Amino acid sequence: MSDSKSKLFNDQGELVVPKPVVGRLSLYLREVQHLIRGGRETTNSNELGRLLGVTDAQVRKDLAYFGQFGHPGVGYRCQELVAAIKIIMGTNTSWNVALIGIGNLGRALLRYKGFHEQGFQIVAAFDVDDGVIGTKVEGVDVYHIQHLAKIVMQQSIRLVTIAVPSHAAQTVVDQIVEIGIEGILNFAPVTISVPSQVRVIGVDLAMELEQLAFTVVNRDSNS
């Protein structure tokens, strides 16, 4: 596994695996976990492809980026595949996460149980509203953002999720970058600027709906 992972980056440290492949890897993980919950011990590329709407060849090609999986005459042993994918994704150990912004979206994120199930634990929340600072929301302590650096160090936080208004996002991100955080999940509906060593994933829910509307409208116009 270590040899295959070393081939995932070029000499500049850039990921060479296509983004769609990484995205499907998460989907494979979810489907195999679902099969395990249903009592299944094995699966195969045909079944995974059918579940996700891709070909069995695509499944095999995607997994081949990361090494050799499967057993002749058996397919994939579900528990083995889940363990291997978690190692590849870096979720075989727990990640401590901070959340900045305790508005409606922030509170919804704190209520979401899927983070914990996949190895992510929101251990601290931050805001500038005196009405929530010093309280617990969904069992998570809320601090003033001025204490971000101290809490990040105390809690060994490596990832930060931001759910702040768009006008505040860049200022918040600058603070996050300054204390050394290199992974940001951005729910603010705005593009943010970060240094090259910082990884940002943006989640714009309205944009996702726009993309969905586009596909529906164009499907109808072509039918």
pLDDT of 125 higher than 80: yes
What pLDDT score does 207 carry? Answer: 84
Of 94-98, 200-204, 213-217, which has the strongest mean pLDDT?
94-98
What pLDDT score does 70 carry? Answer: 85
What pLDDT score does 15 carry? Answer: 61
Q: Say how far apart CA 223 and CA 108 lie, in whole Å.
A: 38
Q: What is the pLDDT of residues 136-178, one digit of tens each?
A: 999 999 999 999 999 999 999 999 999 999 999 999 999 999 9
What pLDDT score does 1 carry? Answer: 41
pTM of this structure: 0.80
Residue 196 CA: distances (Å) to CA of 23, 45, 98: 21, 36, 21
What residue spans in the chain does CATH classification 3.40.50.720 cover? 95-207
Mean pLDDT, range 37-47, rounded to an integer: 95
DSSP the chain: -HHHHHTTB-TTS-B-S-HHHHHHHHHHHHHHHHHHHTT--EE-HHHHHHHHTS-HHHHHHHHHTT----BTTTBEEHHHHHHHHHHHHT-SS-EEEEEE--SHHHHHHHH-SHHHHTTEEEEEEEES-TTTTTSEETTEEEEEGGGHHHHHHHHT--EEEE---HHHHHHHHHHHHHTT--EEEE-SSS-----TT-EEEE--HHHHHHHHHHHHHHHHHH-
pLDDT of 206 higher than 90: no
Could you confirm whether domain 2-89 is CATH 1.10.10.10?
yes
Pairing type for strands 183-186 and 199-202 reads parallel
Chain mean pLDDT for the chain: 89
Percent of the chain with pLDDT over 70: 91
What residue spans in the chain does CATH classification 1.10.10.10 cover? 2-89
Q: What's the full length of the chain, in residues?
A: 223
Mean pLDDT, range 201-218, rounded to an integer: 86
CA nearest to 166, candidates 188, 182, 150, 148: 188
Q: What is the pLDDT of residues 4-28, one digit of tens each?
A: 444 555 555 556 788 889 889 999 9
Q: What is the pLDDT of residues 49-89, one digit of tens each?
A: 999 999 999 999 999 988 888 888 889 999 999 999 999 98
Confidence of residue 45 (pLDDT cuts 50, 70, 90): very high
pLDDT of 32 higher than 80: yes
Residue 184 · residue 162 · CB < 8 Å? yes
Mean pLDDT, range 99-108, rounded to an integer: 96
Superfamily holding 95-207: NAD(P)-binding Rossmann-like Domain (3.40.50.720)
What pLDDT score does 6 carry? Answer: 44
What pLDDT score does 214 carry? Answer: 86
Residue 88 · residue 63 · CB < 8 Å? no
